[in-house]
Structure 1
């Protein structure tokens, strides 16, 4: 009798433990809608993976659906995707030689990029709720514009193939490549133009990203423009969310969350979905946390994130709106600062900027520029950002010059045409931008201090503190004031 009681207790204990584990396991699963479950099941069937989405956390959307394996195209698919393009010959035509520094030419590990080839599996880094979203079936097609200068063949081809393999064919009107006077002359363009839907144009001289993109936009035949860097990998369903938002409002300029592709081992790393674009007064771009009030208002992690500026490398924009706003400032050179000029102009002249959490694109971020600037990268950046400050920042440009005193006296060319454009578009003042797009509540206080402080004259700002501005001495100890 005692043995029977002991066995019964043991069985009940085991059952209780198993029941507890089952409850915890069930509780760890997200409560998805039937549509989301069906989408996840369809995705798992398509790619041979089991769906295992994580739990939704309020104001945190860093839990994702699982790795999606991109299967190599079958022979008939390969012909349809690449046409008569000889992928192997293209990649073999320019590879790293034994003993060469893999970082020297491109500022990333070329050996690892070449090893990956032209396609690979990447993780679907979106929040799992994104899989349940529906988009219009009649979305307009887009022209993909990619500019490159001496880009590594493996990264460039991986960019192109990721677009072709992870985008609905009906949405890709064309892929326009602008070869910005690469040293290979017309060889890259001639070969890549063999890929269906790919058109390649070569500049007769070095123009830089800004003027090259304008050339691509003028060539584009679609009503929607998609600008993409040449060392990217687009993720699952990256294009539909952006085109949907632009279709609903043509004045929107939208950007994906930009994931990180390691420059060392090319690992694909998910970026935070709680960031927006920002800048300091020297006009350097930086990522910043979404303001707490905006974060609290976002009950749904798939909702767009309004952003003061975009990084500029990857975005979608209505072509007619792009032309109406004056395209890019083509007197800017090579690269740098054009994203601020465009961002200020979009907000101040009637549009808006958004980052879409359900669109993800990986990008290789490098620590240095792998190419030369004709006038040097520092002077080029000063010229470009000074043009942006002089045209758009009104009285706030004094903060730019205070943060970047080396810009004083540097040539930046005529801005008459851009000032005329601003008046023609009846754009709002930069103060409006700061109060509505940037939300810098302390900007008025900073302006008051700038107006009242004078070199050598003490001012008691708050008792008992007295602040005095003095000339710099040889101590090399400096205090930088930054408002952002």
Structure 2
């Protein structure tokens, strides 16, 4: 009898241990933390823990408020996570009725050493400004932050789950990890320093549910990095880029704005998304190839996924009735292995090599240094493009982004204007500014120029202009005008750039004192020799 009792006790202990081990394994699959037994609703958690959670990493008295996050952490830490922000939507949005049978979403937020106050405010705004039944879960992916408790403490909030990487993986691989763990049919990606506005969620869900191949994003309002004031952004912007493949905001053309007057809250087709905030059907995200997992840390992923969505039968939209604020900062607070420039160029070059076909040559003309950065193996991404029967980049330029000037069609020469180791540079000046030279950096930007067929030397929408036609006069940047005779130049066979109808050429001999000037053309003067990185374009 005693023997049988011992056997039964042993079996019971083993059974309990097995169940406990199974529950532990199940709750920690993919390093997910966040059971349900001790979770608090967001209001209860904030009452009990908001101030103590934030104060654990507050800036010490006299410390640098910008050093950790490159925004004013002291000001951020002062703010309540439930603070009111202005409702920046169009009035028509406020009276619009959204469908009631919307599907829930999994919100995925990745972070690395994020300020606790901004991370918590992001989560709070999602939970308090969304219909509860539409938030399936918030998945925080901690990309190996220095302090694991930054995320672990938040796992005690209802609907919040935390995954922690065992090493630094970067944005793309972290987001894929969160997406793989998501249980909702629709994914919403947010940065870790956002504030969602009123009814931000429903307009995007409605568009994705109508067509699973739509990838949608909100209008991104501005949260000031110094005082954290929330400012509404223009609804007349779309995402775009120049040939250096750096994201920029484009104002809609006058015709596009006029066409929207009858329905100003209609979705806006955008060639490019900023990348930090967007929504996508989970099955479409998987089918489309998720992210390029060979990209590192951050940068270029928005370019790649934008090309891929458009070229592979999808579409990108900005939804005016959805507003989310974002802290825009001037530099990154974290390190990039190998340097941020190399990482961004490597990622961007992968996107160009896979998706841009022969048009990638304009990228290399604008950013010649990119040719020296290895980009790794892209075979799997090329196979994905073939599998999905994706369209050529020429189709994208014609049907999605016809506003992008194609050098092959409008320019005689393109790229950097080099003079030895120096390049013509705007020096950051705008309209009515002077022009100079600077060490060639091979990254486009201020050093990207085009000699157009209509004889202008153009940088974006500014042209090199003669103000006074006399030797020694400074050259200026003015808005391009096709018939303006003061903006007409001739490229001579000896690599001089001559002002049409004159004997004056662009000269750099006094660039240190004044800038670029007009001087009498001199075939022996090296300060008048200019070479484009991409000459004699087909036309």
TM-score when normalising by structure 1: 0.78
Q: Are the counterparts in 1 of residues 412 and 453 from structure 2 also a CA contact under 8 Å?
A: no
Q: Are the counterparts in 2 of residues 435 and 441 from structure 1 also a CA contact under 8 Å?
A: no
Q: Which structure carries more strand by proportion? A: 2
Instruction: State the distance in 1 between where 2:368 and 2:508 align.
Output: 18
Q: Are the counterparts in 2 of residues 460 and 467 from structure 1 also a CA contact under 8 Å?
A: no
1:108-147 equivalences under 5 Å are 108-147=71-110
Instruction: State the distance in 1 between where 2:251 and 2:533 align.
Output: 19
1:340 is matched with 303
The 3-state SS of whatever aligns with 2:264 is coil
Deviations for 1:170-205, whole angstroms, at most 9, x for unmatched residues?
A: 100000000000000x21222111000000011000
Q: Which structure carries more helix by proportion? A: 1
1:286 to 230, 243, 248: 248
1:412-423 equivalences under 5 Å are 412-423=375-386
Please report how far the alpha carbon of residue 80 of structure 1 lies from its aligned counterpart in structure 2 after TM superposition: 3.0
Deviations for 1:78-99, whole angstroms, at most 9, x for unmatched residues?
A: 9532555622321122111101
Provide closer, same or farther for how the CA distance between residues 422 and 301 of structure 1 changes in structure 2, counting only shifts above 3 A: same
1:205 to 167, 189, 193: 167
Alignment RMSD (CA, Å): 2.7
Provide closer, same or farther for how the CA distance between residues 189 and 462 of structure 1 changes in structure 2, counting only shifts above 3 A: closer
Q: Are the counterparts in 2 of residues 461 and 467 from structure 1 also a CA contact under 8 Å?
A: no
1:81 to 20, 24, 42: 42
Please report how far the alpha carbon of residue 118 of structure 1 lies from its aligned counterpart in structure 2 after TM superposition: 1.8
Deviations for 1:202-248, whole angstroms, at most 9, x for unmatched residues?
A: 10000111110010011100010000000000000000000000000
Q: Are the counterparts in 2 of residues 159 and 231 from structure 1 also a CA contact under 8 Å?
A: yes
Instruction: State the distance in 2 between where 1:272 and 1:238 align.
Output: 16
Q: Are the counterparts in 1 of residues 365 and 533 from structure 2 also a CA contact under 8 Å?
A: no
Please report how far the alpha carbon of residue 397 of structure 1 lies from its aligned counterpart in structure 2 after TM superposition: 0.5
Please report how far the alpha carbon of residue 465 of structure 1 lies from its aligned counterpart in structure 2 after TM superposition: 5.8
Instruction: State the distance in 2 between where 1:460 and 1:134 align.
Output: 50
Please report how far the alpha carbon of residue 443 of structure 1 lies from its aligned counterpart in structure 2 after TM superposition: 2.3
Structure 2 stretches of 5 or more lacking a match?
1-38, 419-450, 456-487, 497-506, 517-529, 535-539
2:188 to 222, 226, 229: 226
Please report how far the alpha carbon of residue 445 of structure 1 lies from its aligned counterpart in structure 2 after TM superposition: 4.7
Please report how far the alpha carbon of residue 135 of structure 1 lies from its aligned counterpart in structure 2 after TM superposition: 1.4
Provide closer, same or farther for how the CA distance between residues 383 and 122 of structure 1 changes in structure 2, counting only shifts above 3 A: same
Runs of 4+ that moved beyond 3 A? 82-85, 444-451, 459-466, 468-482
Q: Are the counterparts in 2 of residues 250 and 321 from structure 1 also a CA contact under 8 Å?
A: yes
Instruction: State the distance in 2 between where 1:480 and 1:296 align.
Output: 38
Structure exhibiting the larger radius of gyration computed from Cα positions: 2
Instruction: State the distance in 2 between where 1:132 and 1:408 align.
Output: 53
2:354 is matched with 391
Please report how far the alpha carbon of residue 467 of structure 1 lies from its aligned counterpart in structure 2 after TM superposition: 2.4
Q: Are the counterparts in 1 of residues 106 and 138 from structure 2 also a CA contact under 8 Å?
A: yes
1:47-446 equivalences under 5 Å are 80-82=41-43, 86-184=49-147, 186-298=148-260, 299-440=262-403, 442-443=405-406, 445-446=408-409
1:466 is matched with 490
Q: Are the counterparts in 2 of residues 174 and 198 from structure 1 also a CA contact under 8 Å?
A: yes
Provide closer, same or farther for how the CA distance between residues 468 and 206 of structure 1 changes in structure 2, counting only shifts above 3 A: farther
Instruction: State the distance in 2 between where 1:192 and 1:286 align.
Output: 34
Q: Are the counterparts in 2 of residues 460 and 466 from structure 1 also a CA contact under 8 Å?
A: no
Query: How many residues were matched structurally?
Result: 400
Structure 1 stretches of 5 or more lacking a match?
1-77
1:28 is matched with none
Instruction: State the distance in 2 between where 1:302 and 1:462 align.
Output: 38
Instruction: State the distance in 2 between where 1:294 and 1:103 align.
Output: 40
